[in-house]
Structure 1
Amino acid sequence: MRSLRPRPAALRVVLGALFLAVGVLVATDFAEARAGRGMSFGSRGSRTWSTPAPTPTAPSAQPMQRSATPQNQLGAPATRAPGAQPGGFFNRGGFMGGLMGGLLGAGIFGLLMGSGFFSGLGSLSGLLGLLLQIALIFIVVRLVMGWLRSRNQPSYAGGGRPDPMARDALNGGGMASGAAGGNGASGAAAPRAGFDTGPRGRPLQLEGSDFDSFERLLGEVQGAYGRGDRETLFRLLTPEMAGYMGEELDELDREGLENRVTDVKLLQGDLSEAWSEGSSEYATVAMRYELKDVTLDKATGRVVLGDPDRKEQAVEFWTFVRTPGGEWKLTAIQQG
């Protein structure tokens, strides 16, 4: 009777393919390793679960994915707060967690049946083919999504504005006012189809110095994240946001990686909403910026992901909060 036990040489080939696929997917999981890592999270007061008003810089925003603010009006619980669930390799959701869970389950099933760890997937060649197909499909999906995102980013003849934050849109003028229903910097845009129509606070007027602060915070937050400077992040962020970004830095540490973010430059930005509620003032700003984003192996200094000589672009909504007369702090990031 032919033995079903895998041959050592074939087993080494399959294990090599498995580790290669896992390495590719781990790198993909950190593909956007800047602060926020391509997610939408944080709190925007009573507007946390509503979509920010569109602007020329970012015509749309992704819904909030993680927040400590309860989703009362929709009757759904808030996503977990920082620290509520451990991170780690097998605890990740989405594609990565599903793939590793499936491989682990198939291996355990094979062991229980007495035919080897990999027999739950049929054969050695079947496992190798499965890994290659999954990797190819995943790469194609990411390429298509990136192409769709690039199509949605507005382009302007004549290059970037001399004033990337579009301060001429303050107090009812410029491009941001047209996007917000004619109310400009007041942030009191009329309700739109599909938008939350609950309490929205009182309109807030901003000054040019506020936009200077937003631009400065963009560079300081990304720089502190790239250095792993938790003390500075705690000063620049709300406690909730500091907790989320601390989790991201912990995950990088567990994987033996470090993220370096440099050369952050705002290319274009405008106001989406500005309002006050209770003892807090909020401002949501759409920003398109460029940066160098590289992930390194801590032990060797080898570049795992990114190009040290190439700049990438991101489009995001950043929401800031302060007490009247106080310093602005970052309280939410939503992807454009």
Structure 2
Amino acid sequence: MRNFRLSSTALALLCAVSLGALGTADARPGGGSSIGSRGSHTWSAPPRTSITPGWARPMDQSATPRTPPGYGSPGYASPRPMPGFGAPAYRPSYPVRHPFMSGFAGGFLGAGLFGLLSGHGFMGGMTGGTSFFGFLLQVLIIGGLIAFVLRMFGNRGQRSPMGMPSSTGAPPFVNVGGSAPVTLTNDDYTSFQRLLLDIQAAWSAQNMRALASMATPEMTGYFNAQLSDLASRGARNIVSNVQFQRGDLSEAWREGNLTYATVAMRYSMTDVTTDAMGNVIDGSSTEPVTVTELWTFVRADGRGNWILSAIQQAG
């Protein structure tokens, strides 16, 4: 019997060490990651709020495809198309690149034409020993002017009437989803706060049916995968004493018949992970932790309640 007790104790210690080595920190709903979808704003940084003055962390997992760089909604790092990747390099015309040289040549051409019209020749007339060299100089100048004019017309042929680079078939910059801002009511904010508390409670109870009624299928899948991962390691995460502290709207918008709202929320909780025998392997049952996250909710206008569609980490 004593040997059995020692073996059980050793097994519990072994489980605790192995679970601790695998890492169970941030085991709350979402696992401390940025997951989910925000419609056409999924890959756009949410506007900053008073409690999230820094940028939110981009999505680590999302069912929404990432928009190509430079197109769609402005993202966390959506650079403008580089030359050779969707848009031609802009090359200013010769007069813009060399204003001094073009001005000098233009003035020289004007003086020569004035000489021809006044009957003094292109260079004002050259006689004596300088006539031959003057002729050669005129030929060189005329040839250079012809090349200059041809270059100008060639540049013009490659540009649109407004002087912008010609199109190469690249897709235009569009506002994906056609989103429009909306105004929320106090009832909406009350729903967000209630969902925060109810989702934490359903998570701790491992009630997937309740979670599925309060989150999108995508978020439900993430929750299920996270709980399954904990269960496969003989662990369980319990979030209790959740206290909502403060909330601040980041943005709210409508896409078709769906309305989205991203809200920055700060709350405290007791976050504990235990093994199969109830031993605490991560967190503390006496020291609460404070978390600030951005939760995005969605609903069908006129029919349905708000449900969770994304969680993003602040900063």
Distance 1:192 1:235 in 2: 30
Distance 2:246 2:194 in 1: 14
- Over residues 244-274 of structure 1, what are the superposed CA-to-partner deviations in whole Å (9 max), with x where a residue is unaligned? 0000000011000011111111111100000
Q: How does 1:142-181 map to 2 (within 5 A)?
A: none
| Structure 1 counterpart of 2:210, one-letter code | T
| Equivalent position of 2:40 in the other structure | 46
| Structure 2 counterpart of 1:288, one-letter code | R
What are the ranges of 5 or more consecutive residues in structure 1 without an aligned counterpart? Answer: 1-17, 77-189
Aligned residues: 203
| Equivalent position of 1:279 in the other structure | 257
Distance 2:266 2:184 in 1: 20
Shift of 1:307: 1.0
1:331 paired with 2:295, answer no
The answer to whether the 8 A contact 2:247-2:263 is kept is: yes
1:248 paired with 2:244, answer no
Shift of 1:214: 0.3
| Equivalent position of 2:57 in the other structure | 62
Distance 2:216 2:70 in 1: 25
The answer to whether the 8 A contact 2:16-2:281 is kept is: no
The SS at the match of 2:272 is: strand
Which has the higher Rg, Structure 1 or Structure 2? 2
Q: How does 1:214-229 map to 2 (within 5 A)?
A: 214-229=192-207
Q: How does 1:181-220 map to 2 (within 5 A)?
A: 194=77, 198-199=175-176, 201-220=179-198
Distance 1:232 1:72 in 2: 33
| Structure 2 counterpart of 1:68, one-letter code | A
Shift of 1:72: 2.7
Shift of 1:207: 0.3
Distance 1:19 1:297 in 2: 7
- Relative to the length of structure 2, the TM-score reads 0.60
| Structure 2 counterpart of 1:301, one-letter code | G
1:32 paired with 2:26, answer yes
Distance 1:249 1:54 in 2: 31
The answer to whether the 8 A contact 2:16-2:275 is kept is: no
The SS at the match of 2:237 is: strand
Distance 1:69 1:23 in 2: 32
1:234 paired with 2:212, answer yes
Distance 2:301 2:287 in 1: 40
Aligned pair partner of 2:246 in 268, 274, 287: 268
Shift of 1:309: 1.2
Shift of 1:68: 0.6
